[in-house]
Structure 1
Amino acid sequence: MYKNDRLNLAIVDDHPMILEGLKSLLQEDPKFHIFSFTKGAAILDFIQENKVDVVLLDIVLSDGSGLDFCRAIKQKLPKTIVIAISNQAERSIIFRFLENGGNGYILKNADAQEIVKCIDNAINGDLALSKEVQEIMLRPSSQAFEIPRLTKREQQILESIAYGHTSAEIAEKLFISVITVETHRRNLLQKFKSKNMIELVKIAAENKLI
């Protein structure tokens, strides 16, 4: 696919240790010229003026969802390879990322060798999936679920929870009190029969409520 030209590879992750770890791992490969960003908006600005061949994109970023940033990158630069590198192991999130144009999905617990192999696979035109992601995708989806009816406010709060916002951030954004947000959170857990917020978001995503 590429011959002598170095590839511009951008890493987007708001965890400094992970960012530095990936940079030091990939800098050893002479075919890459590495750029790093802590916000999704920054990579969108960067690709306006610069050619980027590969983007390693975290799913949960401080300024939005990697799912949305993946779609936005692909709309601007359809040929750019976009690979998720994430702790999010939910089957529905993996599928949504790929539906949004993603070229692969790597869990952060993958070892260095596997990460490099996945990136090479994507460059060669294959789908880049770490071993654990392949196993998750092959599992049968959860059984049919009776979708609860949500109020407009509950829907707003559910979407904010999915983006990883805290109760305080949600309260500020929606101009309501933290206590009100916490009450809605408890109601959502009951409606979805969920043990915790991670399970709540997973069920909501699988049923396309977010």
Structure 2
Amino acid sequence: MEQLHPVILLVDDEEDIIEFMRYNLEREGYKVYAAKDGLEAIVTAQKVYPDIIVLDIMMPEMGGVEACRELRSMSPFQNTIIAMLTAHGNDQLQFTAFDAGADDFIAKPIRPRLFLSRINALLRRKQPSSPKRNVITLKNLVIDREAYMVIKNHQNISLSKKELDLLLLLISKPGKVFYRSEIMMQVWGHDEVIGDRTIDVHVKKLRDKIGAIHIKTIKGIGYVFSV
């Protein structure tokens, strides 16, 4: 689940600028995704969880400042590096972007060496406590441990603490059969007295929320998570 290369999301409504940035970044080994406006950027970010988002300020549908503000309101992106891309030197516009949560500005027109140096410098700022470590991606499921939420097919699904604990246990070793006694101990511990029915109810709730296909019953033994 660990990504080998830093992931960058480029957001600009001008395709030639996107391709120019992509070309230079991919030459340096970065994994690059692109979006054409703020709305698409928010959807894409929830799929790929980038290390850096480069947002153009002026775009149709949703501009960079509004997209930045929206991303910052979402738990997984509160510490993601966001750099605003702009051809304008307007101080007020920059103040507004910083207030929305932007970390830095990159000036247009793009100068490749300076652009790459700025991206590298921004990555060095990235804190090791990035929320990415609290996000797990498994095919069509994104599990946000801080928000007690699963994102499936772009839909946010809220989980209770026990549901999340149960899911995290099962996905810790996909394909492994977890015995009921093991689930009881790992999720509920010594201090709570529960029966098999409690486990079954929580499994049913998880299946209803994330899809029955992922959690299989091994009759008389326990449960296994399948991707």
TM-score range, shorter chain: 0.5 to 0.7
- 1:63–1:111 distance in 2 versus 1, CA, 3 Å: same
Partners of 1:87 and 1:108 within 8 A in 2: yes
User: What's the counterpart of residue 58 of structure 2?
Assistant: 60
User: What's the counterpart of residue 10 of structure 2?
Assistant: 11
User: What's the counterpart of residue 44 of structure 1?
Assistant: 42
What is the distance in 1 between the residues matched to 2:82 and 2:112? 18
Partners of 1:59 and 1:88 within 8 A in 2: no
What is the distance in 2 between the residues matched to 1:88 and 1:8? 26
Partner SS, residue 61 of structure 1: coil
What is the distance in 1 between the residues matched to 2:105 and 2:98? 8
Name structure 1 gaps, 5 residues minimum: 127-210
The share of aligned pairs that are identical, in percent, is 18
Bigger Cα Rg: 2
What is the distance in 2 between the residues matched to 1:116 and 1:48? 24
TM-score scaled to structure 1, two decimals? 0.55
TM-score scaled to structure 2, two decimals? 0.51
Task: Give, in angstroms, the shift of residue 50 of structure 1.
Answer: 2.8
Report matched runs for 1:2-151 at 5 Å: 5-30=4-29, 32-76=30-74, 77-125=77-125
Runs (4+) of structure 1 exceeding 2 A deviation are 47-50
- 1:95–1:17 distance in 2 versus 1, CA, 3 Å: same
Task: Give, in angstroms, the shift of residue 75 of structure 1.
Answer: 1.9
Name structure 2 gaps, 5 residues minimum: 127-227
Deviations 1:118-162 (A, max 9, x none): 111111118xxxxxxxxxxxxxxxxxxxxxxxxxxxxxxxxxxxx
What is the distance in 2 between the residues matched to 1:52 and 1:16? 20
Partner SS, residue 125 of structure 2: coil
Deviations 1:15-66 (A, max 9, x none): 1111111111111111x10001112111111223331111111001111221
What is the distance in 2 between the residues matched to 1:19 and 1:4? 22
* RMSD value, Cα: 1.8
Deviations 1:102-133 (A, max 9, x none): 1110111242111111111111118xxxxxxx
Number of residue equivalences: 123
